[in-house]
Structure 1
């Protein structure tokens, strides 16, 4: 197993660890005795997971250790981390919650992308996905929101960040849908 793949697997393991730490921190708040150790540990685990995302890709290229299993697991680890953190921080008390509309947008985008990829893959047998900067920015905003749920004392700031992030989720989803549809043969567009 390659080093980058091991890092990706570690990121997969960090997702439930983060969730447990965030829930544990939330339970200490509910009991009226916030234990910041759980807060700090959750933030450290999340930071390590985010850094590991950049590191595994860099090492795969630098060490020429790209693998099929790594290419398969990397996006799963990314989605698992960000979705589990976002959903958890939408529903637990850890400071300021991530607004439900934002989480709904994230889940809708993922469902549309997965459904579209399956449909286009079934028709064409192969899918070419080019990442767009709006998708990367919406992911960046999602990471900022996750940290903000712990650190930002203002609901209005959380709402603002959610609106900006949500706008880019919507734009990136529209661009990915357009890119997916443009891969279909012209006859598929003419005869729905």
Structure 2
């Protein structure tokens, strides 16, 4: 179903290659374009959920695709930031935690769907996603502006890592409660 929220989700996915190309081109223009593309994609994450509720345009496609779009955006950007040394080695820890959690939660959702149990996104998970996106945006801005704000982005990345652990734990507990032998 092609609704406005679903179109925004597709736009978020289409902005990922812009961010990727920016890492390869690596000029000031392209790095600012990466910041703009990433921040715009993050905004569509908020906007598509808001519009789905307000316009009553929630759909199975949107429910399925929205978290995948978030995971693709965050995972791709974190991997490129790590590969291009845009985050410190110490901050690879929360980045790895975030990536592992996303894989794990996808597996949990797949298992639960086999037994017809949904694993809805919690409010804390929404805060986790917002914190991740803020962290990455600040890190991208710090890289292109050459201002000493990378530590702020890395601080938010660590906060996202902590929220990631908490949300992963709650999802694991919910899954165990519904586990069938």
| TM-score normalised to structure 2 length | 0.82
User: Equivalents in 2 of 1:2, 1:16: separation in Å?
Assistant: 23
1:140 aligns with 2:130: yes
Match of 1:113 among 105, 110, 113: 105
Cα contact 1:97–1:149 (8 A) shared by 2 = no
Q: What 5-or-longer segments of structure 2 have no aligned partner?
A: 143-147
User: Deviation at 1:145?
Assistant: 2.0
Q: 1:47 to 1:109 in 2, by over 3 A?
A: same
Quick check: 1:62 aligned with 2:57? no
Of structures 1 and 2, the larger Rg is shown by: 1
Contact kept in structure 2, 1:113 and 1:176, CA below 8 Å: yes
Question: What secondary structure, in the 3-state scheme, does the structure 2 residue paired with 1:66 have?
Answer: coil
In structure 2, the CA distance between the partners of 1:93 and 1:136, relative to structure 1 (3 Å rule), is same
Q: 2:30 aligns with which of 28, 32, 38?
A: 38
- For structure 1, the residue ranges without an aligned partner over 5 or more in a row are 26-34
Which deviations, in whole Å up to 9, do the C-alpha atoms of 1:131-164 show, x marking residues without a partner? 3333222212211221232234266545533332
Alignment root-mean-square deviation, CA: 2.3
Whether contact under 8 Å (1:86, 1:146) holds in the other structure is: yes
Preserved CA contact (<8 Å) 1:102 1:162: yes
153-162 or 138-147, which moves further after superposition?
Answer: 153-162
Moved over 6 A (4+): none
- Give the corresponding residue for 2:156: 161
Whether 1:6 aligns to 2:7 is yes
Cα distance in structure 2, aligned partners of 1:67 and 1:133: 19
Give matches, 1:122-141, under 5 Å.
122=114, 124=115, 126-141=116-131
Contact 1:18–1:45, Cα closer than 8 Å, also in 2: yes
Change (3 A) 1:114 1:62: same
